[in-house]
Amino acid sequence: MTENTWCGHSLRRIAAVGAVGLFFMGAACSSFPSENDALGEFSGAFEADPNSGLAFSVILTGRAEAPEAFLYAGGSYLRQRPLAHVAVLVRHRTETFLFDTGLGRNIDRQFDAMPFWVGPFFAYETTNAAADAIGGAREPLDRIFVSHLHWDHASGLPDFPDTPVWLRREEYENAIDPASGPPAFLREQYEAIPNEWNFVEFDDGPYELFDQCSDLFGDGSVVFVPLNGHTPGSMGMFLNLPSGRRFFFTGDLSWALEGLLLPAQKYFVSRSIVDGDAGQTRTSLARVHRLLQERPSLHAIPAHDALAQAYLAHYPDFEH
């Protein structure tokens, strides 16, 4: 276990500086499209195959903490929130795959490329790289899907050199653009790795409030949808278990479940650093917010919300 100690407590100090002024800046420019705006019409979910054998497990690869206010506009400056860096291991009767990799074996070296001024925002403590967790258990792995290629989601890709990577074409093209780099992208994580790259195509028609989707196995058990805004090619993942429970992994659309339920954007400083398109992010947030209102039994899981993930099975246990 290693800790990024040089900036381990900097978030508390940053939150104390100019908090009142930045609060109002964070609250500004946070209007959302209404339900009458172009959020789409409900198409319903595909009927999921009860014999899919679908199960999933959360692999905790790192921890952090931050003032709640840094996670969503309107959060408390005084309340510290635990954060998680995770990979999600998904088993289907036909294959096993990862959704994101979390922090990999070489994150400390990778992180050296971060500009000094942004390091305090991204302090972390490593736990166990996904490759070590499932490698030790000799878990078979057929593919890796990534919600997007930001540093804390793609760090483990070099740990799986023989595993094909799947993502949206828009995300790949944005990440390899010469203009893309720290603090969002650390090119060492994906630029020269030997993995085979493949692209997710949204050609399976509408799904819920989304006008396009990819039904991975054609049985309604795993469905990917676009979540544009945080990056041009961000995507989320629905898991529809044979038990009837449904989970929606929303990547970094919001760092806290409150951001989806209220809805609320990230804090002004946070979103200015990490969100690529503020307008598209607000639209995606409004769409997911409306979806959760209409589907109260759907469990939304932001990628870094440790509280939202606390009740989920963590490896080697599985949700069925």
The model's pLDDT over 236-251, given as tens digits with 9 standing for 90+, comes to 999 999 999 999 999 9
Q: Looking at the chain, how many residues does it have?
A: 320
Specify if 319 maps to a domain.
Answer: no
State residue 42's pLDDT score. 85
Please check whether residue 314 lies inside any domain of the structure: no
- Tens digits of per-residue pLDDT, 106-115? 999 999 999 9
pLDDT band at 11 (very low <50, low <70, confident <90, very high): very low
What does the angle CA 44 – CA 284 – CA 143 come to, to the nearest 5 degrees?
Answer: 75
CA distances to 160, 175, 176, 251 from 220, rounded to whole Å, are 27, 30, 32, 20
Q: Which pLDDT band, with edges at 50, 70 and 90, does 224 fall under?
A: very high
CA dihedral 280, 282, 283, 287 (to 10 degrees): 140
Q: Which residues pair with 198 in a beta bridge?
A: 166
Asked, for residue 37, whether it belongs to a domain, the answer is no
Question: In this structure, is residue 263 part of a structural domain?
Answer: yes
Average pLDDT on 161-165 reads 96
**At residue 7, does pLDDT exceed 60?**
no
200 neighbors 145 (Cβ within 8 angstroms) = yes
- Tell me, yes or no, whether 318 lies in a domain: no
List phi, psi (to 5°) of 55. -155, 155
Region 215-239 average pLDDT: 98
The residue range of the domain holding 266 is 5-29+43-309
Q: What is the mean pLDDT of residues 298-315?
A: 98
Q: For residue 317, is it within any domain?
A: no
- Rounded percentage of the chain residues whose pLDDT exceeds 70: 88
Per-residue pLDDT tens over the stretch 128-139: 999 999 997 788
Per-residue pLDDT for 252 more than 60?
yes
Is 195 inside a domain boundary? yes
* Pair of tokens at residue 303: 């990628």
pLDDT at 5 over 70: no
Query: Among 37-41, 45-49, 129-133, which range has the highest average pLDDT?
Result: 129-133
Any domain includes 35: no
Question: What pLDDT sits at residue 265?
Answer: 95
102: left (phi over 0), alpha (psi -120 to 50) or beta: left
Quick one: pLDDT at residue 22? 40
Share of the chain above pLDDT 90, in %: 78
Please give the tally of structural domains in the chain: 1
Give the CATH number, domain containing residue 278: 3.60.15.10
Does pLDDT of 173 surpass 90?
Answer: yes
Q: What is the pLDDT of residue 111?
A: 96
What distance in Å separates the CA atoms of residue 253 and residue 18, rounded to the nearest whole number? 26
